[in-house]
Each structure stands twice: as structure tokens, then as C-alpha cells.
């Protein structure tokens, strides 16, 4: 049977992709940010998940404001990077696992999460940069990837609690897949940031750190906030962090935190890295 071996969180900002492409990850501005991933790289090297499910938000590329599914899952064997204006990076197409995706979609829909199923799906920085920051660039990716999109752009958005429950359903969906594969779930985006308007540039470090602790030890604190409360504290795009709760819901009641790292500001955001494994219950 498929097994969930862990969960990771990461930023997705476009500038991260530029830093990787330009080879400047060890320069002063970026060094601390990228060094925060070293224990995650070591863990991925050791555990070698067969598939990572990347919970991300599309920023107006595959879904525009006229059609915005609340939850969507890629059901393809390949996904192309087609970023919508932050600069297209020459990234090899990502390898999917359509058979596993369809199992996940069936199970989630049976559990009353009515996913939009996408047999074609273009991916933007929300998906591409998390994979690149975790694995580096490859001609042939060493891992299969499944994009799971959450609408954090066009209101009304799903609640944080709904995202957590989607994660719980995802756990059941993964663990009912009969193939012996190891799966990691990646929660992407966040943390606090607002890209426009009077409050552009806000970052609340204390709030971000409280959210990270909550994701580890007490996800209810995070998911019991309304979206309005999260946006008030974290900014309009800070709401992206609700996607971390999908990852957390998939790991079960208790987790061991193997690594935690926070860096701010990076571009316009606070950036948090977590590496979690399910604790034996």
C-alpha cells in the first residue's frame, strides 16, 4: 500500500526561481534562505519519495478569475511550466502519475471533496519553484509530482479548516492506494505578504512564527481563524499559508518536527520551511 512518509512546507516566490537559474543561491541576500533547506535535501536524498503531492495555488495561469475551482487535482502524466509573466524558466516538464491521481480523485470525491480533475494542467511558480527548491533542476525529474491546486486567489476562498479536512481526506486517499509507493506531501506558499495596496509589504514575523508552531503542535489554533482574520494579520496573499494545512491534515494527529526554519523578508514575504513526519500513534 502507499505510505505517507512526511510533509514539507516551502515558499514559492518567483525570485527563488530566478536565484536558482542565475546561480546566486549562495550570495549574501539568498544564502540564509537557501541554507534553510539543507536538512530537507538530506531527508529527500535518504527517503527518496516516489511521488510528492504539491499543494499549491495557481496565480491566473491555468485558471483565470472567470473559472476558479476551489480544489483541483492534476490527472496527467506530464505538467509543463508556463509561468504567466514572472519570466518563463527553461524547466523540463514535470513527470506526473495519472493512475495515482485518478485514485486520489476518486477517493476524495467519495469522501465529499468534489475535486476538479485536470487531464491537462499548466503549472506556474506556485508549483514549479517548490519542486526546484527541493530538488534543484533536472533534465529528468527524480520524483513524480502531482499538483493539487487550492484557490487562494479569487474570493470566496476555502476556509483554513476546510483545507485541513481536505488533508485528512487526502491521507485516507493516499493510504488506500494499493501500490507500494512512498509519498510526501508539500504545502507551499505563504507566509505573510501583501503585494499591492496601502498595506503592500507587510510582514508579521510573530504571527508567522505562531502559525508555524501551530502547524506543528496545534493545527486547530490556525484553522479556527477565519480567512478575514488571517488576511488581517498576514496580508491578502498571506492567505496562501492555508495550503500548509492540507499537508498537515494528511499527516495525522501528532507529528515529529525534524526541521524548522524561518527567514524574512525574502522578496515580499516571510518564508517558512518545515519538515514533519507522522508520530507513531
Catalytic residues: 125, 193
Q: Show the cell assigned to 128.
A: 514549479
Q: Does 13 contact ligand DHB by CB under 6 A?
A: yes
Q: Identify which of residues 12 and 144 has a Cβ nearer to ligand DHB in the complex.
A: 12
Under rule CB under 6 A, which residues in 225-264 are in contact with ligand DHB? Answer: 237, 240
* Least distance CB 222 / ligand DHB (angstroms): 18
Strand 51-56 to 144-150 pairing: parallel
Distance of CA 186 to the CA centre of its chain: 5
For the chain, helix (H) and strand (E) counts, in that order, are: 10, 11
Other beta carbons within 10 angstroms of residue 262's beta carbon come to 15
Single out the residue of 79, 186, 269, 273 in contact with ligand DHB (rule: CB under 6 A). Answer: 269
Residue from 135, 154, 267, 277 in contact with ligand DHB (CB under 6 A):
267
Query: Any contact of residue 272 with ligand DHB (CB under 6 A)?
Result: no
**Is position 55 an interface residue for ligand DHB (rule: CB under 6 A)?**
no
For the record, the C-alpha cell of 213 comes out as: 508552531
Nearer to ligand DHB, 50 or 58 (CB): 58
- The DSSP call for residue 260 is E
Which secondary structure element, helix H or strand E, spans residue 214, and what is its range?
Answer: helix 205-217
Q: Specify the residue, 208 or 237, whose C-beta has the smaller distance to ligand DHB.
A: 237
Written as nine digits, the cell of 202 is 507587510
Sign of CA pseudo-dihedral 8, 13, 17, 23: negative
Q: C-beta of 114: minimal distance to ligand DHB in Å? A: 26
Closest CA to 52 of 88, 101, 116: 101
Q: Does 14 bind ligand DHB (CB under 6 A)?
A: yes
The answer for 242, left when phi > 0, alpha when psi is -120 to 50, beta otherwise, is alpha
Tell the smallest beta-carbon distance from residue 217 to ligand DHB (Å): 26
Q: Which is nearer to ligand DHB, 118 or 266 (CB)?
A: 266
Q: Is 176 one of the binding residues for ligand DHB (CB under 6 A)? A: no
**Among candidates 147, 164, 160, 162, which has minimal Cα distance to 242?**
160
Rounded-to-integer distance, Cα 278 and Cα 248, Å:
9
- 244 neighbors 54 (Cβ within 8 angstroms): no
CA distance 57 to 63: 10
Shorter beta-carbon distance to ligand DHB: residue 43 or 127: 127
Taking the complex as a whole, the smallest distance from the CB of residue 138 to ligand DHB amounts, in Å, to 23
For residue 25, the minimal CB distance to ligand DHB (Å) is: 16
- Residues 211, 268, 272, 275: which binds ligand DHB (CB under 6 A)? 268
Least distance to ligand DHB, CB of residue 180, Å? 36
Could you tell me which stretch among 11-19, 42-50, 165-173, 221-229 binds ligand DHB (CB under 6 A)?
Answer: 11-19
Binding site for ligand DHB (CB under 6 A): 13-15, 59, 189, 193, 237, 240, 267-269
Amino acid at each position: 500500500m502507499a505510505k505517507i512518509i512526511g510533509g514539507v512546507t516551502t515558499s514559492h516566490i518567483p525570485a527563488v526561481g530566478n536565484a536558482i537559474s542565475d546561480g546566486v543561491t549562495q550570495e549574501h541576500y539568498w544564502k540564509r534562505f537557501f541554507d534553510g533547506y539543507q536538512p530537507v535535501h538530506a531527508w529527500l536524498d535518504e527517503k527518496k519519495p516516489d511521488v510528492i503531492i504539491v499543494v499549491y495555488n495557481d496565480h491566473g495561469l491555468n485558471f483565470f478569475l472567470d473559472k476558479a475551482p476551489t480544489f483541483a487535482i492534476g490527472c496527467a502524466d506530464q505538467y509543463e511550466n508556463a509561468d504567466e509573466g514572472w519570466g518563463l524558466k527553461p524547466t523540463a516538464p514535470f513527470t506526473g502519475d495519472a493512475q495515482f491521481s485518478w485514485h486520489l480523485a476518486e477517493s476524495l470525491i467519495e469522501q465529499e471533496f468534489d475535486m476538479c480533475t485536470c487531464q491537462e494542467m499548466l503549472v506556474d511558480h506556485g508549483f514549479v519553484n517548490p519542486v526546484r527548491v527541493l530538488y534543484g533542476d533536472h533534465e529528468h525529474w527524480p520524483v513524480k509530482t502531482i499538483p493539487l491546486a487550492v484557490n487562494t486567489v479569487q474570493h470566496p476562498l476555502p476556509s483554513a479548516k476546510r483545507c485541513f479536512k481536505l488533508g485528512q481526506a487526502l491521507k485516507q486517499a493516499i493510504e488506500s492506494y494499493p501500490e507500494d509507493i512512498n509519498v510526501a506531501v508539500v504545502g507551499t506558499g505563504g507566509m505573510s505578504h501583501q503585494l499591492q495596496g496601502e498595506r503592500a509589504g507587510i510582514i508579521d514575523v510573530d504571527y508567522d512564527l505562531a502559525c508555524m508552531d501551530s502547524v506543528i503542535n496545534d493545527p486547530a489554533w490556525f484553522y479556527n481563524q477565519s480567512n478575514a482574520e488571517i488576511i488581517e494579520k498576514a496580508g491578502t496573499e498571506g492567505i496562501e499559508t492555508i495550503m500548509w494545512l492540507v499537508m498537515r491534515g494528511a499527516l495525522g494527529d501528532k507529528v515529529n518536527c525534524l526541521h524548522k526554519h524561518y527567514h524574512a523578508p525574502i522578496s515580499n514575504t516571510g518564508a517558512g520551511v518545515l519538515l514533519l513526519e507522522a508520530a507513531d500513534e
